[in-house]
Structure 1
């Protein structure tokens, strides 16, 4: 990717981060409720009994209620734990509500740590994003954790990125290492992206 494209990605991330910080508590709460309903429906549609998700930060679309409800329904939910080497460990979500601050100040689970390959057994992956376009290109926050994870999986399950409605864009710059997603989930809709495009 050229220096100009990299600067465009940096500028876009900064703009998206700023927009997220301007959302009111009521807007965040409404978005979390909508997202929970969309994710519940997605899990049901895939008949998933094991999923990976993440604990959202205060500015991200809220995933906490979805995780809690999934655990209550007996779905095995793996949550990521960041490592200094750029890989993700995983822990099984439980109903304790115990969390710790991860490597980048984000909330992470405190349960038994499973290695990077633990995620190979999930039926569905739900991952964070800054933005997603309609071809399945995902713009992350620039650390590459999920691209590395998805790229290393032999039988990768469907991968859905979570964003706010305004973060579904027509197109995004794509680098060689960027892993496409199969769909995007927002507080109001779930968009499945054709495998031919992804």
Structure 2
């Protein structure tokens, strides 16, 4: 009998969560600075005028310095709001106003634009627990981003934002899992063919 991908994912998520919790403040700060540079490079390279991103939680790679840069440079930032039906709604973030979302994660506050608002962006940045070398994304288990990406008619480039060491040989696969076009880590940008 082959191992259950759900159980494999739970074990891997627990390990990754522990690794993130063990990072020092200095390691986080250095990762944040390098990550911000790489996110700016990717956005500039793609000439993205509109980006779907997210407010990072305390254990995630810090997206806020990048979001601040984007706001300062007139890039339209769509930020997700979790809905109880498992879909993501979107709002245009102002870079300062936040509230606690459904699962205790930080979310932007603003006018709700509906789940299809994401169809108009030039770049999508998504959180992840790990990414396989084939581009398969393993999230944290709620399925919001898989549903969103799986429902898009034409998808702009999608990049996962992860720490170094979270790009792994492979992740356990389930049918609903969606691949990404690349990853942004503190040490660089990796694109999948």
- Would you say same fold, with TM above 0.5? yes
5+ long unaligned stretches in structure 2 = none
User: What are the superposed Cα offsets for residues 71-98 of structure 1, whole Å, 9 maximum, x if unpaired?
Assistant: 1100001000001110000111114x11
Name 1:134's counterpart in structure 2. 133
User: What are the superposed Cα offsets for residues 4-23 of structure 1, whole Å, 9 maximum, x if unpaired?
Assistant: 32211100001101110111
Distance in 2 (alpha carbons) for counterparts of 1:39 and 1:5: 31
Distance in 2 (alpha carbons) for counterparts of 1:53 and 1:110: 14
Name 1:30's counterpart in structure 2. 30
Distance in 2 (alpha carbons) for counterparts of 1:17 and 1:128: 13
Counting matched residue pairs gives: 192
Name 1:167's counterpart in structure 2. 166
**1:52 aligned onto 2:14:** no
Q: Give the secondary structure class of the aligned counterpart of 1:67.
A: helix
Name 1:101's counterpart in structure 2. 100
Deviation at 1:163, TM superposition (A): 0.7
Distance in 2 (alpha carbons) for counterparts of 1:137 and 1:108: 25
User: What are the superposed Cα offsets for residues 118-143 of structure 1, whole Å, 9 maximum, x if unpaired?
Assistant: 10000000000000011001110111
Distance in 1 (alpha carbons) for counterparts of 2:34 and 2:56: 14
Distance in 2 (alpha carbons) for counterparts of 1:54 and 1:3: 33
**1:110 aligned onto 2:121:** no
- Aligned-pair Cα RMSD in Å: 1.0
Name 2:73's counterpart in structure 1. 73
Distance in 2 (alpha carbons) for counterparts of 1:129 and 1:5: 16
Distance in 1 (alpha carbons) for counterparts of 2:175 and 2:139: 14
User: What are the superposed Cα offsets for residues 34-82 of structure 1, whole Å, 9 maximum, x if unpaired?
Assistant: 1110000000111110000000011100000101110110000100000
Name 2:188's counterpart in structure 1. 189
Name 2:178's counterpart in structure 1. 179
Give the conservation status (yes or no) of the 8 Å contact 2:52–2:123.
Answer: yes
